[in-house]
Structure 1
Amino acid sequence: MSKGAHFPKESRESTDPQSGRRIRQVTNHPSIHHHPFFFVPAYDRAMKRLIFVSYRTGKPQIFFEDRSSGQLVQVTDRADLADWSIIPSGDGRYVYYTAGTGGFRINLDTFEEEQLADFGAVEMREKGMVGAAMGTTALSASGKWWAVPVKAGPVTRFMLIDTERKTSSVIIERDTIGHPQFCPDDEDLILYAGPMTDRVWVTDRSGQKNRRIYQRENDMQWVTHEVWVPGRRTVAFVDWPRGMKMVDVDRGVVRQITYSPAWHAAPDDAGDTFVCDTNFPDLGLHTFHLDDDPADEAQPLCASEASSEGKHWAEPFPYNNGPVAVEAAQHTHPHPRFAPDNSRVVFTSDRTGHAQIYEVMLEDRA
């Protein structure tokens, strides 16, 4: 099948035995599916489309569910898509992604593909399955700026692309750059992950104000899964497996926000409530409020029943002596994310033997 192809509705509903909440399984083909990474929106702001990746054609391709009809629509037809690079624009016009050694966007109405950048003869991503090796990218709230880390020999170049002028420039070169994210309240502020032992950094778009905003307490602390908190100019991060902390990017003030064992945790658009998955043990998806007492227990949302590959998560911090090889296929992780209207949470689970897209409804209980 090629881009623009339509597939019949596959959704089916069930009830979560833990919470009684309604679960909608969006995809049902016997192949890998996953929505974007946990800090990347899966819907446009108007919620016309749910964006995901499907391997049903034999290679990863971008798809969306047309939420008015339930039909699934194939968006790309490429042999070289970097499936974790995808990021939809909030206005619902485009999905941005890397493929091969280029940066592209595709119009979701016309399926016209544009190349915005050619990165040259580069590796693009680090080797592995986690962190910078995933190749995630960042799009500003307005859609004007797209930030893409590009592995080029001994360094990673932080490429900033002007999506209107279709020009690009290198703003930083350093050892590693992973999981970039534009601040939702300031398009001149970009969060990114440095090395596993020195994770939490921000820069401006010029690269002149590149700085660490949190330094780990000791060589046993495992800092991971950073995310912006909307409306607060703060970055929340997982202090695995001891809960989550939050750091103010202007004042450097750090505070504990939960002691619950959050794994991948993302806030709603108001910056009030987080949703997270759990691992070792998998206790399902949970929510917690940012301004509650950190000692309060997170509230169960539903079971994930995902296999959540990555045995290293059960061990002490493993990266002090450099990278380690791990089997941690990301499509086996739930990566929960609120919908823009807070009516549901999207997540991925391979509970059926193949990774599928699910939604758990928040507005009602069965």
Structure 2
Amino acid sequence: MYGTGSRHLSECREFSDKQTGAHIFQLTDHPSINHNLYFLTSSFTRDQGQLIFTSYRSGEPNFFILGFPNGEIVQLTESDGIHGYSGIVFESQLFYTQDSSIKAVDINSLEERVLATFEGGSLGECSINSTGELIVTAMKRDDKSHI
């Protein structure tokens, strides 16, 4: 049922807030933990047509993408050790950390690649420069913190 490329029906619900009248989109309805990318990182693709989020619906944190607001949900990753808040979107790539590696997955082809591995390191959130040429992450290794 779950795995890289698995497709799932939209879970979107639209309603108005009873107090304020604000229009609300509830994008997920699965009983597992579902959350946006790190709060300093946009979960939307550049064209605002898709949204990437982390879900534990497969039993561990993995990345999913949905057509915003009510498109189908597609699983982007299927791995142990993914840092669920580490993702950052640049063009058609989602950059993220998994265990001691920085990885990228193409959100269209689902092709995944390892960009760097830091043996014995525990990596945090990713940040990328405006051209997509440089990426930075926090790392803890040997009881020391690094960037």
SS at match of 1:149: strand
Instruction: Name the CA distance, whole Å, in 1 between partners of 2:107 and 2:19.
Output: 37
Q: For CA contacts below 8 A with separation 6 or more, give which structure has more relative contact order.
A: 2
Aligned counterpart, 2:22: 21
**Are residue 105 (structure 1) and residue 104 (structure 2) matched?**
yes
Corresponding residue number in structure 1 for 2:127? 138
Is residue 14–residue 26 contact of structure 2 (8 Å, CA) maintained in 1?
Answer: yes
Gaps of 5+ in 1: 126-134, 159-366
The one-character-per-residue Cα deviations of 1:132-185 (angstroms, maximum 9, x if unpaired) are xxx222111221111011111132221xxxxxxxxxxxxxxxxxxxxxxxxxxx
Task: Supply the AA of the counterpart residue of 1:99.
Answer: Q
1:79 matches 2:68 = no
The percent identity for this pair of structures is 29
Q: Does 1:149 align with 2:112?
A: no
Q: Distance in 1 between matches of 2:125 and 2:19?
A: 33
* TM-score, scaled to structure 2: 0.93
SS in 1 for 2:19: coil
Question: Partner residue of 1:49?
Answer: 50
1:1-366 to structure 2, matched below 5 A, reads 1-67=2-68, 70-89=71-90, 91=91, 93-122=92-121, 124=122, 135-158=124-147
State how many pairs are aligned. 146
Could you tell me how far 1:13 is from its partner in structure 2? 1.1
Distance 2:131 2:21 in 1: 38
Query: Could you give the per-residue CA deviations for residues 43-99 of structure 1, whole angstroms, max 9, x where no partner exists?
Result: 01111210100111111110011238610110000011111111111x2x0100110
Quick one: distance in 1 between partners of 2:130 and 2:71?
27
Rg larger for: 1
DSSP-derived class of the 1:43 partner: coil
CA contact (8 A) 1:66 1:72 kept: yes
Match of 1:322 in 2: none
Question: Partners of 2:102 and 2:57 in 1: how far apart?
Answer: 23
After superposition, what is the alpha-carbon deviation per residue over 1:166-209, rounded to whole angstroms, capped at 9, x for unaligned? xxxxxxxxxxxxxxxxxxxxxxxxxxxxxxxxxxxxxxxxxxxx
Conserved in 2, the CA contact under 8 Å of 1:41 and 1:88? yes
Secondary structure at the aligned position of 1:136 is classed as: strand
Structure 2: segments with no counterpart, 5+ residues: none
- Aligned structure 1 segments of 4 or more residues deviating by more than 4 angstroms: none
Contact 1:31–1:56 at 8 Å: present in 2 too? yes
Work out whether residues 66 and 73 of structure 1, in 8 Å CA contact, stay in contact via their aligned partners in 2: no
Q: Secondary structure of 1:20's partner? A: coil
Structure 1 residues 321-346: Cα deviation after superposition (integer angstroms, max 9, x where no partner) = xxxxxxxxxxxxxxxxxxxxxxxxxx
RMSD of Structure 2 on Structure 1 (CA): 1.4
